[in-house]
């Protein structure tokens, strides 16, 4: 009886402490993560390499782990870094890839977050050019460069150049060569985005990055389905619908799908579908 009472007392005490301490501990952890994110991006690269001695690869791994931990906490809290934090992250990625130029994950992180989220393509493209020199057998740096120039920077000519370079690399998927030859005539940025994200997902093993890629892919797939239905409406009525709700009234769709980023899908005058979220996570702090 005494043992049962002791166990019950300890259980209740532990439960009460957990209820009382979980939130404070979570807040302290959040402050710690915010305040202890590496300031290594402020150091000159040659100085950091000298400090790392023969352990440059291990230092690069540690810095990237801290970057992913910091970003993972922010995503978990449904917030994003401030502008100065983004700058520090970008500088740190540059230092990491100076320490270990063949380390692929930082380049994927840059493409996924620095590229899609804050659209700093000078930084992202410079990192990818670094990757192309360090990983000369890898088609992915040129493939990402081609996508950035086509999808975001609206430069089909430069995109085709990078995709042709990607197609020359060993184990490059066969579709890249065809994509390069058609790039100047490619009519749908949405389809290009879907193809690109599917490729990134297949080549990404970090769970945080993979989940973010899947969310963005879902959004683009929903846009694509809406755009296909708009084209069907146009063929049927010889004109574009005035708004997406016309597709519901016509019985072509049951409802307008949700944007996983919290935005609203809107039909533009050219028949393309836009989302008010711009496929970006809200940057508002709680």
Look at residue 118 and tell me whether its pLDDT is greater than 70: yes
Please check whether residue 67 is in contact with residue 41, taking contact to mean a CB–CB distance below 8 angstroms: no
Residue range 61-83, pLDDT digits in tens: 999 998 888 888 877 777 778 88
Look at residue 13 and tell me whether its pLDDT is greater than 60: no
Q: In terms of residue numbers, what domain contains 61?
A: 21-37+44-103
Q: Which DSSP symbol is given to 256?
A: P
Percent of the chain with pLDDT over 90: 43
b (16+ CB within 10 A) / e for 44-64: ebeebeeebeeebeebbbbbb
Residue 117 lies in a domain: no
Residue range 19-62, pLDDT digits in tens: 444 444 444 444 444 445 667 667 788 888 888 888 999 999 99
Residue 228 lies in a domain: no
b (16+ CB within 10 A) / e for 189-212: ebebbbbbbebbeeebebebbbeb
- Which pairs from 180-186 meet CB under 8 Å and 24+ separation? 180/146, 183/146, 183/150, 183/156, 183/159, 184/156, 184/157, 184/160, 186/150, 186/156
Give the closest residue to 150 by CA, choosing from 166, 141, 163. Answer: 163
> What pLDDT is stored for residue 169 in this prediction?
92
Residue 270 lies in a domain: no
Mean pLDDT of the chain: 82
Q: Which DSSP symbol is given to 113?
A: I
pTM flag (> 0.75): no
Residue 71 lies in a domain: yes
10 Å Cβ neighbour count for 175? 11
Residue 25 lies in a domain: yes
Query: What is the number of domains present in the chain?
Result: 1
> What pLDDT is stored for residue 151 in this prediction?
86
Look at residue 183 and tell me whether its pLDDT is greater than 90: no
10 Å Cβ neighbour count for 37? 21
- Both tokens of 250, joined, read 């016509």
Average of pLDDT values for 269-280?
89
Band (pLDDT 50/70/90 cuts) for residue 276 is: very high
* Residue 275 host element (H or E): strand 273-275
> What pLDDT is stored for residue 206 in this prediction?
78
Band (pLDDT 50/70/90 cuts) for residue 89 is: very high
> What pLDDT is stored for residue 285 in this prediction?
43
Residue 253 lies in a domain: no
Please check whether residue 42 is in contact with residue 63, taking contact to mean a CB–CB distance below 8 angstroms: no
């Amino acid at each position: 009886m005494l043992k049962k009472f002791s166990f019950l007392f300890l259980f209740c005490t532990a439960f009460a402490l957990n209820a009382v301490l979980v939130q404070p501990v979570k807040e302290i952890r959040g402050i710690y993560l915010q305040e202890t994110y590496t300031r290594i991006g402020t150091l000159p690269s040659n100085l950091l390499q000298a400090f790392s001695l023969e352990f440059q690869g291990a230092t690069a791994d540690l810095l990237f782990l801290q970057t992913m931990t910091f970003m993972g906490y922010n995503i978990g809290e449904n917030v994003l870094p401030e502008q100065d934090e983004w700058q520090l992250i970008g500088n740190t990625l540059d230092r990491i890839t100076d320490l270990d130029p063949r380390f692929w994950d930082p380049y994927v992180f840059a493409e996924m977050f620095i590229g899609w989220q804050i659209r700093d393509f000078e930084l992202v493209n410079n990192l990818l050019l670094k990757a192309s020199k360090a990983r000369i057998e890898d088609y992915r740096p040129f493939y990402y460069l081609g996508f950035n120039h086509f999808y975001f920077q609206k430069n089909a000519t430069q995109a085709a150049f990078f995709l042709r370079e990607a197609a020359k690399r060993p184990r490059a998927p066969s579709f890249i060569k065809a994509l390069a030859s058609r790039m100047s005539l490619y009519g749908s940025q949405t389809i290009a985005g879907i193809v690109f994200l599917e490729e990134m997902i297949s080549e990404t093993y970090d769970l945080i990055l993979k989940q973010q890629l899947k969310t963005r892919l879902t959004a683009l797939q929903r846009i694509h389905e809406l755009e296909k239905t708009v084209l069907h409406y146009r063929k049927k009525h010889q004109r574009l619908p005035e708004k997406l709700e016309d597709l519901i009234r016509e019985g072509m769709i049951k409802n307008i799908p949700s944007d996983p980023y919290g935005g609203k899908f809107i039909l533009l005058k050219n028949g393309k579908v836009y989302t008010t979220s711009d496929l970006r996570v809200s940057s508002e702090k709680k």
